[in-house]
Amino acid sequence: METGLKKIGFFLVVFCALLSLTIPGSTNNVYSVLSSGAPQVGAGGSVTVPFELVGHLIIVKASLNGSGPQYTFVLDTGSVTAVNKRLADRLGLARQGTCNARGADGAGSQVCLTTLQSLALGGMGVQNIGAVVFDPHFKERAGISVDGFIGSNFLRFFTVRIDYRRKLLTLSSATAPMASVPGETLVNIGLDWKNAYVPQVSATSGDASFTASVDTGLNDPLSIPAAYLDKTNMDGQIEGNGAMASGNFGNMDKARMVRLSNLGIGPLRIGKVVATTQSGQTFALIGYGILSNYTVTIDYPAHQMLLAPAPGGRRMNNFFSTGLTIGRDYAGTYVAGVWMPSPAQSLGLAPGDRIIAVDGRPAGSYPLASLQKLLFDDSVPGIKLSVQEPAGAKKLTIEKRCLFQEAQPRSS
């Protein structure tokens, strides 16, 4: 598994956990917008739609305001519902004030609030749903064009089933309580409007107990604040050099990757788990690297999550990686960061090096999503690069390997 560009990019953190709120008027106005909405339930009370996985992102088609074209949305349990500023302007969506939001990395940004007349997936939707208006240049950074995010303030009205293996999403209005069968795990979740109704679970590692958000927009298995690490049991750690990820509100620098000896999610017990952490991080997040190992059912109204083991998930206990993270700006593709130690570091790559070609093709001819797939894909053992460094151009082949075979034990 490769770690890489984050929300925005392919490593999305909580898009808008509303921990710091300012708005003309009062906090009640924020609450009234983000807690608004009434569910629209289609025939049969359930709908199943296919989704596309771009990297780890769940991409779905949705309708806005009851008519018109289908729009492209990222379905993200770790996000608030959001629409791109260009689309908001085209639809003439009225702004209803602003609020300050910050993500799990601690960085903040001011966003506008609006209300969508309706937002629907298949025959299931929500009327008068609150949303934020964002302009993160997602296409330029991630290489895919999206019109918005379907977040947990939308999903909270439904039971949501994510089948990663078959790439199917089900929304249901079913009210019967879920029950686990042998091999499955039922976990209680908490919901809080100030955290945009993002599901929260109780987690443990070693002597550390903490609350973690269930975030389908996170590529990593786990992201954890550094403050918890002293109480966990770690058997290795790796330092990041450069921006190991980027977000809507800032870059993930001063990052570390650690391997925890154990992780508990409610009653579920997992063995070794790789986690990332960075300076200033305030939330713990459970991401795709864990969730994709299960068929995940989140019953928002009943405050429960069911995890049913599924074949073909991602490895949780190591990163099979070049150690390289990449970025793209208007001058082209570049090395954003390097994990140390890693194959990329051993070949002398460093942040700021320009990537001219990948596997014999100009780097700019690849959508960034395609480059990310090369980095994430366990079936791709290595990548050929042409790189422009300060000392000149060179060609090299980076072979992937499990990074924690190289990691040093934690010092006492």
The residues, ordered by sequence, that sit 6+ positions from 346 with a Cβ below 8 Å of its Cβ are none
Residue 342's DSSP bridge partners are none
Q: Report pLDDT for 83.
A: 92
Tally of CB atoms within 10 A around 25 = 10
Q: Are strands 159-163 and 168-172 parallel, antiparallel or unpaired?
A: antiparallel
pLDDT higher at 28 or 241: 241
Question: How many CB atoms lie under 10 A from the CB of residue 373?
Answer: 17
Tell me the C-alpha distance between 47 and 174, whole Å: 11
Token readout for 383 is: 């990548």
Write b or e for each residue in 271-284: b if 16 or more Cβ atoms lie within 10 A of its Cβ, otherwise e.
ebbbbbbbeebebb
Convert the pLDDT of each residue in 111-157 to its tens digit. 788 999 999 998 899 999 999 888 655 555 555 678 999 999 999 99
> Which pLDDT tens digit goes with each residue over 359-412?
999 998 887 767 877 887 788 899 999 999 888 889 999 999 999 975 544 443
Asked if 310 contacts 330 with a C-beta cutoff of 8 angstroms, the reply is no
Q: Contact at 8 Å (CB) between 13 and 247?
A: yes
DSSP string, 180-232: --TT-EEEE-B--GGGTT--EEEEEETTEEEEEEE-TT--SSEE--GGGGGGS
Cβ 202 vs Cβ 272: under 8 Å: no
> Does residue 4 carry a pLDDT above 50?
no
Residue for token pair 């269930």: 214
Locate the DSSP E strands across 261-391. Answer: 263-265, 268-270, 273-278, 284-286, 294-299, 304-309, 320-321, 324-329, 332-340, 354-358, 361-362, 382-389
Q: Does residue 19 or residue 135 have the better pLDDT?
A: 135
3-state secondary structure of 101: strand
- pLDDT number for residue 7: 35
Mean pLDDT, residues 15-32: 48
Residues in contact with 84: Cβ distance below 8 Å, sequence separation at least 6, in sequence order: 133, 134, 135, 138, 146, 147, 148
Query: Do residues 262 and 272 lie in contact, with contact meaning Cβ atoms separated by under 8 Å?
Result: yes
Amino acid at 109: S
Identity of residue 188: N
Interatomic CA distance for residues 340 and 343, integer angstroms: 9
Write down all domains in the chain, each with its CATH number in brackets: 193-291 (2.40.70.10), 320-405 (2.30.42.10)
Task: Provide the whole-model pTM.
Answer: 0.86
The gap between the terminal CA atoms of the chain, to the nearest Å, is 29
Q: Between these two residues, 7 and 377, which has the higher pLDDT value?
A: 377
Query: Which helix (H) or strand (E) segment is 97 a member of?
Result: none
Going by pLDDT thresholds of 50, 70 and 90, the confidence category of residue 178 is confident
Residue 53 has a pLDDT of 87
Tell me 29's DSSP state.
Answer: H
Give residue 282's pLDDT.
82
**pLDDT greater than 60 at residue 11:** no
Residue whose tokens read 């947990």: 152
For residue 10, pLDDT beyond 80? no
1: pLDDT strictly greater than 50: no
Q: What is the percent of the chain where pLDDT is above 90?
A: 52
- Average pLDDT value for the chain: 83
* Residue 164 to residue 387: CA distance in whole angstroms: 35
Tell me the C-alpha distance between 393 and 338, whole Å: 19
163 touches 295 (CB < 8 A)? yes
Q: How far apart are CA 319 and CA 62, in angstroms?
A: 34
Q: Which residues contact 228 (CB under 8 A, 6 or more apart)?
A: 205, 208, 210, 284
At 37-49, the pLDDT tens digits run 999 887 778 999 9
CA 115 vs CA 19, 21, 40, 210, 379: distances in Å = 20, 18, 16, 33, 43
